Amino acid sequence: MPRFLTMVRIDENNVPEEGFSPEMGQRMGALLEEITKAGVMLDTAGLTPTAQGTRVTWSGGKLSYTDGPFTETKEVIGGYSITQCKDMAEAVEWAKRFLQVHDENFTVTCEVRQIDED
């Protein structure tokens, strides 16, 4: 069965100051329990802010390093999940359900990609 990487994209500058509501936490917990019991979820986590990250770039035969935050970037990967689904349609359905548990004051995008296992 194919595996899928879902990258959760956020705009770090527009994350609600108050964070998520207790109700959203309950909805998220219920969804994570459901997807885990279904045997679909292999791994998931949120990521620390870009201010705590470093980019390593290879260009022109040289390495360069840039410490965060990355102000020129509007959207960053704020978390991920690795799922094992029967097909892309099922992986997208789980991503949709993940997005829908968020409070309305959040703007979140999921990019779902199949892991190349050839």
Cβ-contact 118, 5 below 8 angstroms: no
Per-residue pLDDT tens digits for 54-65? 999 999 999 999
In this predicted structure, the answer to whether residue 71 has a pLDDT above a threshold of 80 is no
CA dihedral over 3, 115, 93, 21, signed as positive or negative: positive
In this predicted structure, the answer to whether residue 13 has a pLDDT above a threshold of 90 is no
What backbone torsions phi and psi does residue 17 show, to the nearest 5 degrees?
-55, -40
For residue 118, the model assigns a pLDDT of 82
Strands 54-59 and 62-67: antiparallel
Per-residue pLDDT tens digits for 23-53? 999 999 999 999 999 999 999 999 998 999 9
Provide, rounded to the nearest whole percent, the portion of the chain with pLDDT above 90.
Answer: 75
Domain count, the chain: 1
Q: Which domain holds residue 63?
A: 3-114
Cβ-contact 78, 12 below 8 angstroms: yes
For residue 72, the model assigns a pLDDT of 73
The CATH number of the domain holding residue 82 is: 3.30.70.1060
For residue 98, the model assigns a pLDDT of 97
Interhelix angle 22-37/88-100, nearest 10 degrees: 160
Whole-model pTM: value is: 0.89
Number of other residues whose CB lies within 10 A of the CB of residue 71: 10
Q: What is the 3-state secondary structure (H, E, C) of 24-82?
A: HHHHHHHHHHHHHHCCCEEEEEECCCHHHCEEEEEECCEEEEEECCCCCCCCEEEEEEE
